Amino acid sequence: MLNNLKEILSFHYVYPLPLNKFHILMKSIESMHNLVNTSPAKLAKILSISTKNADSILLKYQKVLDIDLVDVYHSNSIRAIPYNSEFYPESLLDLIDPPTFLYAKGNISLLKQPRKIAIIGSRKATKYSGLALEYIVPPLVEQNIVIVSGLAKGADSLAHRSTIQHGGKTIAVLGHGFNHLYPQENKELANEIGQGHLLLTEYPPYFGVQKWQFPMRNRIISGISNAIVVTEASLKSGTLITTEHALEHGKDIFVVPGPIQKEQSKGTNSLLREGAIPIWNGYQIIEELKLF
């Protein structure tokens, strides 16, 4: 565990730097104990921000230091997982910008499960995705593979629900803090996952919903998973951001072939043309992973 956990957690609450930038900060100030004596001008230079912003960060940081965040999080069933925790997935450290902290609700032991498969797809997923998951999910669950997705409308929700229905375990990676929920229609699903499964985010609890945070979330979905399954996706789908992250790190992309006339199959069929692996049941995924 980090020696300066209280200080680092307080700073992350105020200004959640990714790990690469946090290391730059540490190299400059040597210890979090020294941050309170760091001038706004110096902090501004280190973080490449305005002096005004740096001054505001330092003032907020000193106020948050008076709060025992670990206790506050614990009382709200939130576990803050620093980058050197045994529960922090090592695969995330391969990212250019790994999270310094992960915030978790639920069964954090799922993070230590060696096999995780992400199932993603269009927010406008059709019944075709639901049908495909009936063939894909049960074999994966039989092998105790954890299903990862993003709790979004459409394919993500279908993946989480199908996993739970078939007795498996699932991780939902959020693009915001736990004090918020998006979409609202998944509140009941989120509560269920937060009880017997796992909700995960890199954002402190108060962080609201911003568009730019969802592509950032996608790198974590890819980062903690051994492979990616795509059910349906249009050519401009955000799903393709996740597959790009996965390809950059040498992970397999499995794709459900779709009807050539359907908009929600244009992205998936394009991935197949580019070399993704076509699948129509979970056993194919298991056999492919065994080969490697």
Query: Rounded CA gap, 215 and 175, in Å?
Result: 8
- HSE (side-chain half, CA atoms, 13 Å) at 150: 30
At 200, give phi and psi (nearest 5°). -140, 140
Q: How confident is the model at residue 2 (pLDDT cuts 50, 70, 90)?
A: low
pLDDT(210) > 90: no
* 3-class state of residue 273 by DSSP: helix
With a CB cutoff of 8 Å and minimum separation 6, the contacts of 180 are: 207, 208, 209
What is the CATH T-level fold of the domain 106-291, as seen in this structure?
A: Rossmann fold (3.40.50)
pLDDT(59) > 80: yes
> For residue 65, what is the enclosing H or E element?
none
> Does a cis peptide bond (omega within 30 degrees of 0) precede residue 259?
no
Q: Residue 186 has what pLDDT? A: 96
* 3-class state of residue 215 by DSSP: helix
CB burial of 167-194 (b: ≥16 within 10 Å; e: otherwise) equals: ebbbbbbbbbbbebbbeeebeebbebbb
| pLDDT one-digit tens code per residue, 214-244 | 888 999 999 999 999 999 998 887 788 788 8
Give, as one character, the DSSP assignment of residue 123: T
Radius of gyration, CA atoms only, the chain: 20
Burial class (CB in 10 A: 0-12, 13-18, 19+), 96: exposed
| pLDDT one-digit tens code per residue, 260-273 | 889 989 999 999 99
Q: Residue 1 has what pLDDT? A: 43
Q: How confident is the model at residue 205 (pLDDT cuts 50, 70, 90)?
A: very high
Q: What is the pTM of this model?
A: 0.94
